[in-house]
Chains A and B, each alone.
Chain A
Amino acid sequence: MASVGGKDVRPADIRGRALRALGKRSTYGVDVDVAKYLGVSKGKSTDSLTKLGIGRRELFSSASYVQADEAVLQTFVAESLRSLGVTMMPLHEALGRIGRYYWGLIDVDEDKYTALAELSGQGVYIKIPRDVHVKAPIYTCFVISTAGIAQPVHNLVVVEDGAELNLVTACSSSAAGLHVGVTELYVGAGAKVTYTMIHNWAEGTHSRPRTGARLADGSRLDMYYVNLNPGASLQTMPTVEIGARSSFYSASVLLASGSSSLDVGTSAMVSGEGGRAEIISKIIARDTSDVVSRTEILARAPGTRGHTECSGLMLSDDASIRTIPALESRSPTAELSHEAAIGRVDEEAISYLMARGLSEDEAIALLVRGFAIIELGELPLPVEKSLRSALRALAIKATG
């Protein structure tokens, strides 16, 4: 349990709610017996991060936080950012200054996983002060290096009005465990944030990201999520609340392999007039994997727009993908649309590329790579490179 100066600063009612929710199953996804993952470990190895293209150069360019198992290996903020008031510190050290944000977007007792994150006290707090533009990416990295442990973390990110942040979260494991990542992201009025998540879990790992974001008026959030290996199971459903004239873009590409079970999605509530949401989801399923993909856009204000696209690519007769797109409007002037398609690799395209000299396997690999391409908005070059590299690795893994 985290403490400051030996004294627990978490409000007792929050802690009590967490304790009472420890047995509460999540609405979606397979249930994980968290009691099996309560070992304590101070991890040291971050080798699995290098597979995601995250090395020293990235970690020491602006700001970074690295946690292996339960050990915080690094909290670095470049002096140039520190002098502007950019803050990055373990969450438990920031508890005294984040009261109104703490569990403001996600219920601490939403399920056993959020409860676990509260009780563990791990995680990072990031603040970008008003009107400060941090172009260089800030990295947060979470690694599981010991088998059988849980890594529950709670991250809180505050980007104040008019500020800019390019956040990259890299999560990986070299051993099977349970990762719970709660992230609360506040995007101030007129602020601009890109949030890139690249995950690569070891076989047998369960992960339960819990993300909540709120976009104040006139702000923008672009969210990218690439998952090369979901491990044994993954369940996540980020919820984003979008203010007036704000825009939210989410693009995710996930590879489901082995016997993994995925229940993934994104929910956007456009609550401010003229708000925009676009959710692009791509799933590649191979082996005996099982995927449920949910996307929903709720229009709650006039002049809002929303679009979801969910594509599934089946690479195996034994895999399954189910897409559940939902649109809900409470305004006659809202415009909402969705597209969904699931299919195999196009035979005609394979044949065409073979006529150009590619073998069948080479043609399929190229087509899968093409399927996994997502439109990238304005991103710092290192982030764009990392994403493209992760997407290439995902396509190779999908057909390898």
Chain B
Amino acid sequence: MLLEVHDLHVKAGGDEIIRGISLSIGEHETHILMGPNGSGKTTLLKAIMGLRGIEIEDGHILFNGEDITWKPPHVRARMGLAMMFQNPPRIKGVTLSDVIREIERRYGKPEDDLGNLVEISSLRNRSLHVGYSGGEIKQVEILLTILQKPRLALLDEPDSGVDVENLRRLGEAMNTMAERASLLIITHTGGILKYLRKVDKAHVIVEGRMICSGHSEEIIPLVLENGFDGISGREGCATG
């Protein structure tokens, strides 16, 4: 397994948000993570990435067989983890070009021409995410994530607040990434799903617990039909 999360308990802002979650992702697999607002999806991704403000109370995270539970984010990033942020910080004075340069210095130039995947030329010399539209933020986040050449990309709601055209482009970018990497994608609305060529598994988190985990073609229709309530224990949906 590329990523193994074992019985993870996580606090954020003093509250226990993740209450014993386990999750495994293999090489080149695409997993979908669903759940209602405040269920702990973003906190789980932040914990896997090792971001600040997240306190791991118990459990372990293994990446490529190595325990990364207490490793700082840049070490995880250099091991092959990357994250597309839903609400990235606005960084005044640091341009998009600055950040691209820093990433390329560490990960090398991109192997493909990414120009047809994302359109960011007008943003290059502007401060990162300062005054960007919702669609521009998504484009830039997916680009930076691709530039890191991750083995596992954590994508936090790539489809929130994005128009149809941007959604299609983001879908293409994710499909390109999926050829070389595993993906763990949070989606609240499922809007991105019809643009993805391949989804292997889906998981549902409610109140910090994985209530449902299994094949995507079984789980996703269940959620879309029944909502998040009342799907636990249904056929094709094992409790986590």
Contacts and interface: CB of A to CB of B under 8 A. Distances in A.
Interface stretch (B2-10, B35-43, B73-81, B165-173): B73-81
Contacts of A356: 77, 82, 99, 102-103, 144, 148
20 contacts: A348-B52, A350-B52, A351-B73, A354-B73, A355-B49, A355-B74, A355-B77, A355-B83, A355-B85, A356-B102, A356-B103, A357-B78, A357-B106, A357-B148, A358-B106, A360-B72, A363-B74, A369-B93, A370-B91, A373-B93
B94 interface: yes
Contacts of A358: 74, 102, 106
B51 A357 contact: no
Given A357-B74, A373-B93, A366 B53 contact: no
A370 B94 contact: yes
Contacts of B194: none
B52 A347 contact: yes
Contacts of A79: none
A180 B78 CA distance: 51
Interface in B86-111: 88-89, 91-94, 98-99, 102-103, 106-107
A349 interface: yes
Contacts of B103: 356-357
Contact of B89 (A349, A359, A362): A349
B92 A355 contact: no
A367 B83 CA distance: 20
Interface in A250-308: none
Interface residues of A, number: 24
A371 B77 contact: no
A366 B49 CA distance: 21
Given A352-B89, A356-B102, 5 more contacts: A346-B91, A355-B50, A356-B77, A358-B74, A359-B74
Interface string A336-353: 000000000011111111
A150 interface: no
Interface in A180-199: none
Contacts of B76: 355
A297 B85 CA distance: 41
B93 A371 contact: yes
A309 B226 CA distance: 53
Contacts of A354: 51, 72-74, 77
A372 interface: yes
- State the majority secondary structure of interface residues on A: helix
Contacts, number: 79
Given A360-B74, A370-B98, A370-B127, A355 B91 contact: no
- Can you list the 6 inter-chain pairs with the closest CB atoms, starting with the nearest? A370-B93, A370-B94, A354-B73, A373-B93, A351-B52, A357-B77
A367 B91 contact: yes
A227 B74 CA distance: 32
A301 B162 CA distance: 49
Contact of A366 (B50, B88, B102, B127): B102
Nearest to A350: B52
Nearest to B90: A349
Contacts of B94: 366-367, 369-370
A360 B51 CA distance: 12
Interface in B29-58: 49-53
B148 A351 contact: no
A351 B53 contact: yes
A366 B53 CA distance: 21
Contacts of A353: 99, 102
Interface string A225-249: 0000000000000000000000000
A234 to B, nearest CB: 24
A84 to B, nearest CB: 37
Contacts of B74: 354-355, 357-360, 362-363
Contacts of B77: 354-357
A351 B98 CA distance: 16
A288 B169 CA distance: 51
A351 B102 contact: no
Most buried by B among A346, A350, A354, A366: A354
